[in-house]
Amino acid sequence: QFGEMAAMTHGVGGFQAIELNLSCPNVDDGALFGHDAQLAAAATAAVRANTELPLLVKLAPNVPDVTFIAKAVVSAGADALTISNTLPAMTIDVEKRKPVLGGVTGGLSGPGLRAVALALVYRVVQAVDAPVIGVGGIFTANDALEYILAGATAVQIGSANLADLWAPFNILEELRVYLEQRAITDINQLIGAAQAKAQVT
C-alpha cells in the first residue's frame, strides 16, 4: 500500500519529495513498520520502486537501537532520514478520571521530545551516510542549532507552528543573527561540529 500511494504521485505536479512515516503513535492497530528493520526496509523499497522523487523516511524514537532501522532503510533506498517521530504518551483528567485523548494515548511532541530526538540524530549520523533531518521540539534558533551541531543537515518545525505561525520565520531570522554575530558565512560549517569535538576530546 505504501508503494501504491507513492505511485499516485506520478504525473502530478507540486511534489518536491515524499516523506514515508514509518511510525504513528496515534494509530492503535496496524504493523509497527518503524520498529522492525525488515518491515521498515520493505516499506521503503516499495516506495522507492514507485517514485523517482527524493525519499525521506521518518523513524520512530522508541526502538531498542535506531541505527539498525536507519541502516536498513538507507540500504532499501531512502535518500534521507527524518528523526524523529513523536513518543507514545498520555494525560489524564483527574476530575473526570479518564484519559484526555479520545484514543487514550497520542504522540508526545514539543520540547519534551527534543532531548530524545537530538540523541537519536547524534547516533544515526555516526551510523549512516545519508542526510538527517532533525525534528522535535524546535521553537528557537538555539533548538535548531543543537540538531545541526549534532549532525542534522536540515530541521523541521512542527509543534511551534501550532503556537505561532510565524515561528519558522522567526527561527530563521534568529539563525541569521547568530551567524552574523559570529562571522559565520555558511551554516554548513556547523553541521556535525559537536560530533567532531566529541571525537577529539
**Catalytic (active-site) positions:** 24
Residue 19, phi then psi, degrees to nearest 5: -105, 120
Please state whether beta strands 154-156 and 132-135 pair in parallel, antiparallel, or not at all (unpaired).
parallel
Cell numbers that stand for 27 in this block: 494509530
- Dihedral angle, C-alpha 98, 99, 100, 102, nearest 10 °: -110
In the block, which residue shows the cell 527524493? 54
Closest CA to 3 of 33, 40, 47: 47
Q: How far is it, in rounded angstroms, from Cα 84 to Cα 20?
A: 12
Q: How far is it, in rounded angstroms, from Cα 11 to Cα 123?
A: 37
